[in-house]
Amino acid sequence: MQIKSFDKTISGNGLYPLTSGGINTLQVNLGRLCNQVCRHCHVGAGPDRKEVMSKETMGLCLDVLKDTGITAVDITGGAPEMNPNFRWLIEECRRLERQVMVRSNLTILQGPGYEDMPDFFAVNKVEVIASLPYYTEQNTDSQRGKGVFQKSIAALKRLNALGYGIDDSELSLNLVFNPGGAFLPPSQKALEADYKREMRKRFDVSFNSLFTITNLPVGRFLAYLNSSGNFERYMDRLVSSYNPSAAANVMCKSLISVGWDGTLYDCDFNQMLGMAVNHGAPSNIKDFDFSKLSNRQIVTGLHCYGCTAGAGSGCGGATT
Amino acid sequence: MQTYYSPEDLSKFPTIGEGAPELWKKFSDWYGAVFAEGALTEREKALIALAVAHAVQCPYCIDAYTQSCLEKGSNKEQMTEAVHVAAAIRGGASLVHGVQMKNVIEKISM
């Protein structure tokens, strides 16, 4: 299968070279350890993974926050809650008055030793971004594992009880949808309306916004595409759905991603592909240079078509 | 050719325009307008298309509109119900012709 290079495609819209427009989010991946083994996970996370960010590397992230105007910290994993210094990092970020987002798989909040985590989130005004690929048990468990859906609903009810996702509350709870297979996500607006109606009706659960995120051909999802014979069809779908407006708004233009070992990447997907920041910008948190990184050329690959297909996709959902 | 139907042929659909470009353009424009959001949503139109695809038993259309329905946010339960609607109409259409059979029986029977 011959696929036109991503750089060549964006050249046609005057977007090459793709360049950072300034960094407002530090996305920190605390490691690949997770209590779940999701079939689509681009990280390949699971209970047996050993890669976990050290407190020392977290300290370097905090130094960057102190020295720059980066306003938001987006904490991800794995299940970031499983990092032993997770709570310390959040408290320090809040001490620096930064907005803190945590990407939670929800089930960890029901696990032993994590029962008080929702309260901790609320006290620290953490924005919770929670995975819930569908509002039915079958679709969710098929992708994320047996029993995940019921635990997720229980965790959402607990968050709601603390004021998360409730109108006029300052505690923000956003859900993440990603397709359960080799197809693009639906309209974010239409699906959010469905989710809100069905989650209220079926479970009496509320939330603020739904983010629709496209599955990128990376990690376990790539393995699924190959083993199921869907790779060519899916790549063709991504490439034929290329949207220049989405390409102009890709998330890597405004964030930088830190790996568990301190390596810097343009996004979490590049991180999993081992494609560190390049083109003359420093590639480790120890050498963080805000000016150079804010103007860096972004490292691209064929997987980038996943963020530019249809309505676009980023960590905050559709980008157009 | 191993079979009359090949999945790869779906993406060759636009080549039909080579023999009659103006007609193809008219068809493409009209087709696009038909499926655009209107009094019905794009999702509703995709579900109708899926049902019709089953009624006319077009494998290309079933492939295309299964994907389209998923990408418009329909789930398997909704899509299966749409296929049942098509099947019910097809089944009912056969059965209602039984009235003609009865008419003929009455006409030619003593």
**In the predicted structure, residue A260 carries a pLDDT above the cut 70:** yes
Q: What are phi and psi of A72, to 5 degrees?
A: -130, 145
Contact A190 B43 (CB under 8 A): yes
Edge-first strand order for the sheet with A127-131 is A209-212, A173-177, A127-131, A99-104, A72-76, A25-29, A255-258, A264-265
> Beta strand pairing status for A255-258 and A127-131?
unpaired
Q: Which residues of A60-71 are buried (b: 16+ CB within 10 A; e: fewer)?
A: bbbebbeebebe
What is the C-alpha to C-alpha distance for residues B55 and A109, in angstroms, rounded to an integer? 48
Burial class from Cβ neighbours inside 10 Å (0-12, 13-18, 19+) for residue A159 reads: buried
Residues of chain B found within 8 Å of residue A184, distances taken between Cβ atoms:
71
* CA of residue B16 relative to chain centroid, distance: 19
Tokens linked to A264: 């810097």
In tens, the pLDDT along A217-247 reads 999 999 999 999 999 999 999 999 999 999 9
Contact B70 A136 (CB under 8 A): no
Any chain A CB within 8 A of the CB of B80? Answer: no
Any chain A CB within 8 A of the CB of B20? Answer: no
> Cβ contacts of residue B101 below 8 Å, gap of 6+?
none
Integer CA distances (angstroms), A94 to A3, A59, B10, in order: 45, 14, 54
What is the C-alpha to C-alpha distance for residues A233 and A221, in angstroms, rounded to an integer? 14
CA-wise closest residue to A254 among A194, A301, A319: A319
What is the C-alpha to C-alpha distance for residues B6 and B4, in angstroms, rounded to an integer? 7
Indicate the length of chain B as a whole number.
Answer: 110
Helix (H, G, I), strand (E, B) or coil at A92: helix
Residues of chain A found within 8 Å of residue B75, distances taken between Cβ atoms:
134, 136, 139
Beta strands in A259-310 (DSSP E): 264-265
**Given CA atoms A34, A39, A41, A45 in this order, what sign does their dihedral have?**
positive
In tens, the pLDDT along A36-57 reads 999 999 999 999 999 999 999 9
CB pairs under 8 A between A and B: 28
Contact B73 A191 (CB under 8 A): yes
What is the C-alpha to C-alpha distance for residues A178 and A186, in angstroms, rounded to an integer? 9
Mind telling me how many Å the CA of B35 is from chain A's nearest CA? 15
Indicate the residue of B11, B42, B75 with minimum beta-carbon distance to A139: B75
Confidence of residue B1 (pLDDT cuts 50, 70, 90): low
Provide the pLDDT for residue B8: 86
Tokens linked to A178: 């990603």
Residues of chain B found within 8 Å of residue A134, distances taken between Cβ atoms:
75
Indicate the length of chain A as a whole number.
Answer: 320
Overall fold of domain A6-308: TIM Barrel (3.20.20)
In tens, the pLDDT along A264-292 reads 999 999 999 999 999 999 999 999 999 99
The answer to whether A3 and A235 have CB atoms below 8 angstroms apart is yes
A117, A119, A121, A127: CA torsion to nearest 10: 120
Beta strands in A57-216 (DSSP E): 72-76, 99-104, 127-131, 173-177, 209-212
CA-wise closest residue to A23 among A74, A77, A69, A89: A69
What is the C-alpha to C-alpha distance for residues B11 and A239, in angstroms, rounded to an integer? 13
Q: Return the ∠ at Cα A284 (arms to A278 and A288), rounded to 5°.
A: 95
Q: What are phi and psi of B58, to 5 degrees?
A: -100, 110
Indicate the residue of B11, B70, B73 with minimum beta-carbon distance to A194: B73
**In the predicted structure, residue A317 carries a pLDDT above the cut 60:** yes
CA-wise closest residue to B56 among B78, B87, B82: B87
**In the predicted structure, residue A155 carries a pLDDT above the cut 90:** yes
Residues of chain B found within 8 Å of residue A141, distances taken between Cβ atoms:
none
Any chain A CB within 8 A of the CB of B100? Answer: no
Domains of chain B: 20-108 (1.20.1290.10)
DSSP at A248: H
The answer to whether B69 and B63 have CB atoms below 8 angstroms apart is no
**In the predicted structure, residue A31 carries a pLDDT above the cut 80:** yes
In tens, the pLDDT along B31-59 reads 999 999 999 999 999 999 999 999 999 99
Indicate the residue of A183, A236, A310 with minimum beta-carbon distance to B70: A183
Q: What percent of chain A has pLDDT over 90?
A: 97
Angle at which helix A137-144 crosses helix A148-161, to 10 degrees, equals 110
Provide the pLDDT for residue A142: 87
User: Which H helix or E strand runs over A201?
Assistant: helix A188-203
- What amino acid is encoded at A51 in this protein? E
Mind telling me how many Å the CA of A192 is from chain B's nearest CA? 10
Interface test with B, best of A183, A189, A241 (most B CBs within 10 A): A183
> Cβ contacts of residue A169 below 8 Å, gap of 6+?
A163
Beta strands in A189-287 (DSSP E): 209-212, 255-258, 264-265
In tens, the pLDDT along A90-138 reads 999 999 999 999 999 999 999 999 999 999 999 999 999 999 989 999 8
Mean pLDDT over all residues of chain A? Answer: 97
- What amino acid is encoded at A26 in this protein? L
Indicate the residue of B11, B42, B71 with minimum beta-carbon distance to A183: B71
Residue of B nearest to A134 (CA): B75
DSSP at A296: P
